[in-house]
Amino acid sequence: MTMDQAVTTYRDEALELLAELERAVLDLEADPGNRDRMAACFRAMHTIKGGGAMFGFEEISRFTHEIETAFDLVRNGKLPVTSQLLTATLMAGDHIKALLFVPEGPPPDELLTRSEELLQVFRSMLAEAGQAAPATAPAAAVPPAPSPAAASIPTYGGADSDGSACDLPDAGPPAIYWVRFAPAADLLANGTEPLGLFEELAALGPYRAHARIADIPALDAPGYDPEALAASYEILLMTCRGENAIRDVFLFVEDTCRLAVVPLVTGRLRGSDLEEFLAFFSHMPADEEQTVAASRLRTLVEARLRQVEAIRAKGPSKEQAPKLKQETAPASTSLRVDSAKLDALVNMVGELVILQSRLRQAVKGENMAAAADVDEDLERLTDAMRDSALELRMLPIGTVFSVFLRLVRDLSASLGKEVNFVAEGAETELDKTVIDRLKDPLIHIIRNSLDHGIEPPGERTQAGKPPAGRIILSAGHSGGNVVIRIRDDGRGVDPARIRKKAVERGLLAPDADVSDKELLALLFEPGFSTAEKVSDVSGRGVGMDVVKKNIEAMRGTVDMENAMGQGTTTVITLPLTLAIIDGFNVRVGDESYIVPLSNLRGFQERFVTGQPRQVDSIERMGHLIPLVSLRRLFSVPGGQPDYERVVIVEADGEMTGIAVDVVVGRQQAVIKSLDESYRHLKWIAGTTINGDGSISLILDVPRLLRMAREQYQRTDERESPL
């Protein structure tokens, strides 16, 4: 891996950690006593700091050091979880994101100034809680370990040097720990430097380490690996930072190595104790302990280690097990692929190679029966490979829910409203591309609900509602689509106000007879807004039209439901993936088109006499529905057939017929994007290559029908069935 690749990997992992940090902070806001989420905040900052120092992000390492220390105090019960702390942490996460994408070189002055402003907030909180502000960590590596013979004891407070407190930052009473560390044999191959671990221990206090080399094989032993570690270490450490600080040193290797941390002497230490252990640090032999002090410690330590190992051998208690499971369950915030899925895909590729060999033999032997068998197996394998490849791109939609929770939290505070955000169906899976493109439309909708829908607490109380409003985001599968609903319990939308604004803008005739659904559809018109004044949140007439365009660009639909005084619901329907589409292949003359299956509702036929109109009507289950002739709409050359097939489609909640020459049959189309030169053709969703090498255009049915309506309205014909 090159340095550039390593930096890119660090950025990706840091963004995942920041997303985890944000989720943990928001969980803490609802449950301030959740120790698991406190630990998650600390781990995220600790990991970001370590990677920042390794890959040249010195400012990130410096900045996160103090926040990491604050959450170390939080998890040790020395700093309370307050709204001010959580808000400052969210702002710090946003600042780290900005620092991650600073071009090579030192950050600009405005970012450095912002760092100091945020750090000052944390320092003031530490001061209010009676905790000393941490010493600012340099961006460089931790200082080297001192020589055992010259190891010095930290300065302890008190004139009598009784060791009741330590003058080091965020320190408690001094204690002496015995640490047994047996690294995994492949520790070096995984990029961990053991000396770096000892350098971090040296920052905690004086220590003495022994390497146990009895298990190292001879150099000429069979299978000897010179890069494999076979040594283990026993360490005696004096520190006033606590057991958690020691375990944090081994945070990234504890899962693969054997580690035990045993407190030997805790509480108040006398000066004579310090002198005794200092002498022990300086004179303990490197091979075997032979002094009386070493023998006493050895007996004590071995007994304590046996107790610890016996407890660990039993595993976690029933009460602890659910917490451990919740702690270790990773939240997928990026496209991470399970190795089992990759193994399955590789196995399918192997089957594909075998099929190719069978097909070659069948062709050479002109054995059509064998070729037909290969064709059947190939169809089965292709379907399985398609499903497997698409599954690799699927992510639970819950990966982006924390973004909306943060949005509701910040925006409701700025608007002076009380709003609770509820997310349902987080496990519903969508293509990662769809999820990425869905964020902005959902943000627009939620902002509108907060600004226009949810009333202030006083107004809600007068209306007999609870002071706190609710926004519910739910997701679920419906057929081959995903349906997302954003519902609020606010004041709703007044149809009379929509009508008034529409008449003022010339979108509606004063005496027009339209339904409430048609009035709600006007909210998606460009520049349309019912807001009486412009705010920094909304009211400029932009947003909902962009939402509709973005959703339709993903071959989806968006509708709105409304109940005055009870709230509004926005319903978004999307395909599972943007890579493959199910549809029916139809032909008009020599041209081929794909009608998406999500829009298709049935087929009919009609006999044509004379030259058909571009827009006509046809009977469907006792009702007349509009009919659009693709031949006339696209000016397809060739003779008009006397018999046409009619594809019945649904768009914008209405049935419409599309007249074509031939319905070829159902087809799964792999979508290919159009060249930039053809992006103005909005009614085309993409293209696909057919089995015979020809190209079919994939129709965007809603936009196609709107184009037909607009063309028809420009003609001299008076009565439009559209």
**pLDDT for residue 205:** 78
**pLDDT for residue 541:** 43
Tokens of 328: 């270790």
Query: Do 590 and 607 belong together in one domain?
Result: yes
Bridge partners (DSSP) listed for residue 223: none
Query: Do 450 and 369 belong together in one domain?
Result: no
State the residue for tokens 């169809």: 379
Element (H, E) at 475: strand 469-478
DSSP state letters, 238-297: EESS-HHHHHHHTTTTTTTSEEEEEEEE-S---HHHHHHHHHHHHH--SS---SHHHHHH
* Angle made by CA atoms 297, 303, 308, in degrees to the nearest 5: 120
The whole-number average pLDDT for the span 623-648 is 88
Strands (E) across 544-661 are located at 557-563, 567-575, 580-588, 591-596, 600-607, 615-620, 623-629, 643-651, 654-660
SS3 710: helix
Residue, of 288 and 561, whose pLDDT is higher: 561
**pLDDT for residue 471:** 93
Bridge partners (DSSP) listed for residue 394: 431
Total Cβ atoms within 10 A of residue 208: 19
User: 392, 410, 436 — which closes off a domain?
Assistant: 392
322 in any annotated domain: no
CATH number of the domain within which 468 lies: 3.30.565.10
Contact 679, 627 (CB under 8 A): no
Decide if pLDDT at 466 tops 70.
Answer: yes
pLDDT digits (tens, 9 = 90+) for 308-356: 455 444 444 434 333 333 333 333 344 667 777 778 888 888 888 888 8
Query: Do 310 and 360 belong together in one domain?
Result: no
The whole-number average pLDDT for the span 196-218 is 73
Buried b (16+ CB within 10 A) or exposed e, 169-201: ebbeebbbbbbbbbbbeebeeeebebeebbbbb
Q: How confident is the model at residue 223 (pLDDT cuts 50, 70, 90)?
A: low
CA distances from 351 to 348, 381, 385 (A): 5, 8, 10
What percent of the chain shows pLDDT beyond 70? 76
Query: Do 52 and 180 belong together in one domain?
Result: no
271 in any annotated domain: yes
**pLDDT for residue 141:** 33
DSSP state letters, 14-51: HHHHHHHHHHHHHHHHH-TT-HHHHHHHHHHHHHHHHH
Query: Do 109 and 158 belong together in one domain?
Result: no
Total Cβ atoms within 10 A of residue 706: 17
* Angle made by CA atoms 61, 123, 205, in degrees to the nearest 5: 60
554 in any annotated domain: yes
First-residue to last-residue Cα distance in the chain = 60
Distance (Å, whole) CA 722 – CA 710: 10
Contact 242, 187 (CB under 8 A): no
Contact 135, 101 (CB under 8 A): no
Rounded to 10°, the helix 3-30/83-100 angle is 160
- Give the domain range for residue 650: 580-713
Bridge partners (DSSP) listed for residue 605: 645
Q: How confident is the model at residue 603 (pLDDT cuts 50, 70, 90)?
A: very high
720 in any annotated domain: no
328 in any annotated domain: no
**pLDDT for residue 646:** 93
Distance (Å, whole) CA 718 – CA 714: 10
Distance (Å, whole) CA 411 – CA 444: 12
User: 575, 599, 623 — which closes off a domain?
Assistant: 575
Query: Do 353 and 445 belong together in one domain?
Result: no
Closest CA to 573 of 713, 694, 479: 479
**pLDDT for residue 281:** 47
Distance (Å, whole) CA 176 – CA 240: 9
Query: Do 543 and 469 belong together in one domain?
Result: yes
Query: Do 204 and 282 belong together in one domain?
Result: yes
Residues in contact with 366: Cβ distance below 8 Å, sequence separation at least 6, in sequence order: none
* Angle made by CA atoms 110, 114, 119, in degrees to the nearest 5: 150
Give the sign of the dihedral formed by CA 217, CA 219, CA 224, CA 229: positive
Domain count, the chain: 5
Query: Do 110 and 169 belong together in one domain?
Result: no
323 in any annotated domain: no
Query: Do 194 and 307 belong together in one domain?
Result: yes
Contact 685, 555 (CB under 8 A): yes
296 in any annotated domain: yes
Q: How confident is the model at residue 140 (pLDDT cuts 50, 70, 90)?
A: very low
Decide if pLDDT at 77 tops 70.
Answer: yes
CA distances from 374 to 362, 386, 388, 454, 666 (A): 9, 18, 20, 61, 22
pLDDT digits (tens, 9 = 90+) for 535-548: 555 543 446 888 88
Q: How confident is the model at residue 217 (pLDDT cuts 50, 70, 90)?
A: low
State the residue for tokens 């965007």: 700
**pLDDT for residue 531:** 62
pLDDT digits (tens, 9 = 90+) for 568-587: 999 998 877 777 778 899 99
User: 392, 413, 434 — which closes off a domain?
Assistant: 392
Decide if pLDDT at 48 tops 50.
Answer: yes
Which of 445-459, 475-489, 665-679 shows the highest mean pLDDT? 445-459
Bridge partners (DSSP) listed for residue 175: 239
Query: Do 29 and 46 belong together in one domain?
Result: yes
Query: Do 8 and 90 belong together in one domain?
Result: yes
Give the sign of the dihedral formed by CA 524, CA 528, CA 529, CA 535: positive
706 in any annotated domain: yes
Distance (Å, whole) CA 259 – CA 248: 12
Q: Give the rounded distance of the alpha carbon of 410 from its chain centre.
A: 19
Contact 662, 586 (CB under 8 A): yes
**pLDDT for residue 292:** 44
Buried b (16+ CB within 10 A) or exposed e, 439-473: eebbbbbbbbbbbbbbbebeebeeeebeeebbbbb
Q: How confident is the model at residue 719 (pLDDT cuts 50, 70, 90)?
A: very low
